[in-house]
Structures are given as structure tokens and as C-alpha cells.
Amino acid sequence: MGDPNGTLDCMKFSAHFGAARSPSDDWFDPDLSVDTRLFLDPFLLLDEKAKPKSLWASAHDKLIGHFARCYDLLATAGSSGTMSEQIARGLLSFPEPAELCLGYTASGTSGSGSGTRHASLILGSIVTAIAAGLNRPEHIEEIGILNEGIGADRISDAACNVLKPIIIDYTKKITSRHGIRTSTLRVRHSRCNLKTGRWIDEEHDLPENPVTGKPVLLIPQRFLNRLPVLNADDWFDSTFNADLRREMNVQVGARVPKREIARAARRHPDRIRQWAHDLRAAGQVRGYDFVTDPLGVVSWQDAGMDFAKHNPVSVSISGVADLRQFVETLLDLYKLFIEEQGGWKLLWNDNHDEKPEEAAQLALLGMARPYCRAHGVEIDREVNLGRGPVDFKVTKGASVRLLVEVKKLHNGEFWNGLERQLPAYMTSDQTGEGWLLAIQYRSEGVSRSRLRELPRRVQKINGTSGTSIGVTIIDARPKPSASKIGRSGSC
């Protein structure tokens, strides 16, 4: 099946560029073809201020300075359409920095980002902050708490754009230290003119992403997080807002719509800053745990690649029937990998909590990618087909394709995924070929009843709509070790 350990199968930056990481290397090692759903957390930059020799010592001040300029412009703008507002709008245009391979993406590593489409939203959030009495920013995350439309991706995009000059310098130091080959490439939003509100593109000698042909930028992994430390839900659950929760009859941790939290934050903006101050003083803030990887977004590649290396497949694919058989073979191998070869460990945390559904998707991608590449098959994750993103699109050439949807068996949207989402995606993509991968994490409840009901429902869908939807069931429940099986068998 070719070389499943080739650098094109392992798309980590370090493997592709031959950069052996040492204990002194603090950069995040991204996958070059799939965005990692982690974000730059501005709050984690604050500790760098105490490190005068750090390249990042001035990063937080630079970020706040950029937004302070926008606050000043909007405080004096008077009305929409003024020159001050136009400059601020330009300063608040933050396209997704795809060079970092981070964030939410519909396909590959080039999501939409904030750009001009979201500049108005961020501008409005600053106007809201000023109206709430926050005349100058202390943390840019404040606007994410005050406005329901500003999430982790927007905050991260803004920070990465503003800090692009530092990120570029940091990347160049790493490429020089490791002797990484570079090319002269254009970097969007390399720097900004605060006076005119203009972003400037520049050319820099940087590593080139073999998938996109665009530059790759690196960032210390200690600045990455699953959500900003300063986020709306945690603020609302903090001790500062016990009275608000009592008024709303809400328990700590209960699901509250973001719009309600934003409304409460606008009534009590002083509490946002006091909460941030207390978190900082406590000194217990941490970024993402890369060791345990609770989201399953980092550790998904190596185990699947090793499995593919030791379980070769050789088939010929020329038409739809061949591709369908190939996908069925892949999912049978995935079943073996998860159920019998310890792959289930990628789907669970050490405290016995399930990882998100995305962990199962990435584990499949890590195992399937070597097989697909060896057979000239493309496997794309989260392709937007107009009705939302399908989990996987598998193609051979321009016309032979099959869609795969992955769902936890106990997911409240399980039947919707089978009976509405997948058929809708297939209609949008003009294909009759689909597959549902049902992942079983639990033994009782709806997991048991759905296992019994699944064959009948699939047969009904295929019979009434003329589709060809297949199903593979994966038992992802934790397995006892061989030693424990032996002990239990001898009792």
C-alpha cells in the first residue's frame, strides 16, 4: 500500500520539515492539512510581562494598544460613516490567520475568520463596551463576554492578526535553529498602520505548507487553550454573580443562553474586570493540557499511522462500487483498531470521561489517511455542502464520491444525523452513497435500544429515498487489560 509512514501521510510540521523537537522547543507542532481546534488565549500572554528577555514580553501590551486605538476612535466618532469609524473598521478586520493551522474550519486550514464580514460585529461590541462604562480595554476578551456574537475564534483571530509581526519573528528563529527550508512567501496582515487603519501584506522567508502553498507560522503551545480563560460561561458561574443566578433561578454550571449572560454583563461590567483581576492574582491559570489532550485534538495521528503500517491493504478503485467497498474496508479496519488494538484509549480521558465526538473523527482520519493516499483517494474532513459540514467526504477523481457521518450512539442528534443530515448532505453533493459510523460508548439506555432499532431505520431510509447508506457500529467502551481478563477468568 505504499509507505504509510511517509511525510505526506504524517502531516505534522515537525515530520514534514524534519525538525526534531528538543525539550527547549516550546512551539506547537500543527497538522498542516487539518486545523487544530485550539485558540490563542490572550490572558496567557500576561505572564510574559515578567520575562523581559522573552520575545513575547510586549505582546499583551501590543494587543491592548491596538484595541485602545479603536476605543478612542469610536468614542469620538459621533455617528456612523465618519472617518474615525472607517479607520476603526479597518483596524478591526481580522481574517483567520490560516498560516497557524488553528481554529474552526469548514475544510482544511482556511476558515472564513473574522475579516470584513465580522468587523462590524466587533465594532459594535466595542461600542457596547464603551456604553457599559468600559472606556478603555484591559482585556480584549471583555467584548466576548459583553456580546453574544464574539466567541473564542474571533478573539483568537484578532490576537493573531495584531501579533503577526511577533509571530513571524518567532517562526524565523525556529526555522533558523532547525535549518528548516523556507521560501519567500506573501503573508497577509503582516503588520498594521494604527494611524490610517491599513493592514500591510509583506513577503517573508518562511516554511511553505505543502497542502495550501501558503506560509506556515508557529506559536508557543503554552499560549493555546480550548477557550479563553476569560469567557462568558465561567464569568457567569463565578462567585461574583451568585446574586444574578439566584434572580434567574439558575444553578452553577447550568446552561444559560449567551445572550442572557451578555445582558447581565452589560449591567455589571465592573464585575468582569474584578473577576479577571482575581484570576490573575490567584496565579492558577493554565493553557490547554497537551499531555492528557482532553479534546483529543492533538494525539490522534501516531497510533492510527502505526496501525496502518502493520495492516496493509491493496485494492483497485475505478468506480463507485469499488470506492464503497474501499470505505467499508476502511471502517472495518477502524473497528479493529478501536475495539481490538487499543484505539479506544484515544476516545476517553484518564478520568473515564468521554472525549468529544471530534476525537473519534480525528482518530478515524489518522488511521484512514495513509490508506487513502496510497490508493489515490482523497479524504476531506468537514466539507461544507451548503447545508452544513459533513464529517467526511471520500472521493476518487471528480465524480466518484461517498459521504461519511460519525455519531455517538447516545448523541441526542443521532437519529437526526441518520435520517436528515446525512441524506441532506448526499442530496447537496448529488451522490447516493453514504455511510453512518455509530460509536457506542455506553451499555444501557438509548445505546441499547438504538442498536436494535438501527437496521430497521436504515432499511427504511434506503427503501423510500433510493439512497445507499451503510452502517458500521464501533464498540468504543473501555476494554479491560489482558491481565485483568486472565484474573477474572480464573475466579
Question: How do strand 468-475 and strand 433-440 relate by DSSP bridges?
Answer: parallel
Asked whether residue 193 is assigned to any structural domain, the reply reads yes
Asked whether residue 287 is assigned to any structural domain, the reply reads no
**Shared-domain flag, residues 333 and 210:** no
Q: With 80 as the cut, is the pLDDT of residue 111 above it?
A: no
Mean pLDDT, to the nearest integer, of 230-248?
A: 94
Mean pLDDT, to the nearest integer, of 258-272?
A: 94
The pLDDT, as a whole number, for residue 384 is: 82
The cell numbers describing 187, all together, are: 503573508
Q: With 60 as the cut, is the pLDDT of residue 150 above it?
A: yes
Banded model confidence at residue 79, pLDDT cuts 50, 70, 90: low
Banded model confidence at residue 113, pLDDT cuts 50, 70, 90: very low
The pLDDT, as a whole number, for residue 473 is: 97
The pLDDT, as a whole number, for residue 118 is: 80
pLDDT one-digit tens code per residue, 402-442: 999 999 999 999 999 999 999 999 999 999 999 999 999 99
Q: Which positions ≥6 away from 398 have C-beta within 8 Å?
A: none
End of a domain among 252, 282, 312?
282
The pLDDT, as a whole number, for residue 10 is: 60
Asked whether residue 491 is assigned to any structural domain, the reply reads no
**Shared-domain flag, residues 251 and 368:** no
**Shared-domain flag, residues 385 and 435:** yes
pLDDT one-digit tens code per residue, 167-187: 999 999 999 999 999 999 999
The pLDDT, as a whole number, for residue 9 is: 53
**Shared-domain flag, residues 416 and 465:** yes
Asked whether residue 340 is assigned to any structural domain, the reply reads yes
**Shared-domain flag, residues 134 and 212:** yes
Q: Which positions ≥6 away from 358 have C-beta within 8 Å?
A: 37, 295, 296, 297
In this structure, of 43-57, 75-89, 218-232, 317-331, the range with the lowest mean pLDDT score is: 75-89
Asked whether residue 453 is assigned to any structural domain, the reply reads yes
**What is the extent of the structural domain holding 269?**
13-282
Average confidence score pLDDT of the chain: 90
**Shared-domain flag, residues 320 and 437:** yes
Which residue, 293, 217, 225, is CA-closest to 42?
225
CATH number where 409 lies:
3.40.91
**Shared-domain flag, residues 337 and 419:** yes
In this structure, of 119-123, 286-290, 325-329, the range with the lowest mean pLDDT score is: 119-123
Banded model confidence at residue 5, pLDDT cuts 50, 70, 90: very low
End of a domain among 282, 317, 342?
282
**Shared-domain flag, residues 205 and 112:** yes
The pLDDT, as a whole number, for residue 108 is: 41
**Shared-domain flag, residues 259 and 305:** no
The cell numbers describing 408, all together, are: 455517538
Q: With 70 as the cut, is the pLDDT of residue 332 above it?
A: yes
Banded model confidence at residue 483, pLDDT cuts 50, 70, 90: very low
Banded model confidence at residue 246, pLDDT cuts 50, 70, 90: very high
Number of alpha carbons in the 13 Å side-chain half-sphere of residue 9: 27
Mean pLDDT, to the nearest integer, of 309-338?
A: 95
Q: With 80 as the cut, is the pLDDT of residue 116 above it?
A: no
Asked whether residue 360 is assigned to any structural domain, the reply reads yes
Banded model confidence at residue 488, pLDDT cuts 50, 70, 90: very low
The pLDDT, as a whole number, for residue 112 is: 45
Asked whether residue 84 is assigned to any structural domain, the reply reads yes
Which residue, 215, 199, 220, 113, is CA-closest to 156?
113
End of a domain among 248, 282, 316?
282
Mean pLDDT, to the nearest integer, of 38-50?
A: 96
**Shared-domain flag, residues 369 and 223:** no
**Shared-domain flag, residues 349 and 226:** no
Q: Residues 207, 210, 213, 216: what is their CA dihedral angle, to the nearest 10 degrees?
A: -30
The pLDDT, as a whole number, for residue 208 is: 97
CA separation (Å) from 485 to 318, 488, 490? Answer: 44, 5, 9
Q: How far is CA 329 from the centre of its chain?
A: 28
Asked whether residue 292 is assigned to any structural domain, the reply reads no
**Shared-domain flag, residues 187 and 313:** no
Mean pLDDT, to the nearest integer, of 215-219?
A: 98
Q: How many domains does the chain have?
A: 2
Banded model confidence at residue 486, pLDDT cuts 50, 70, 90: very low
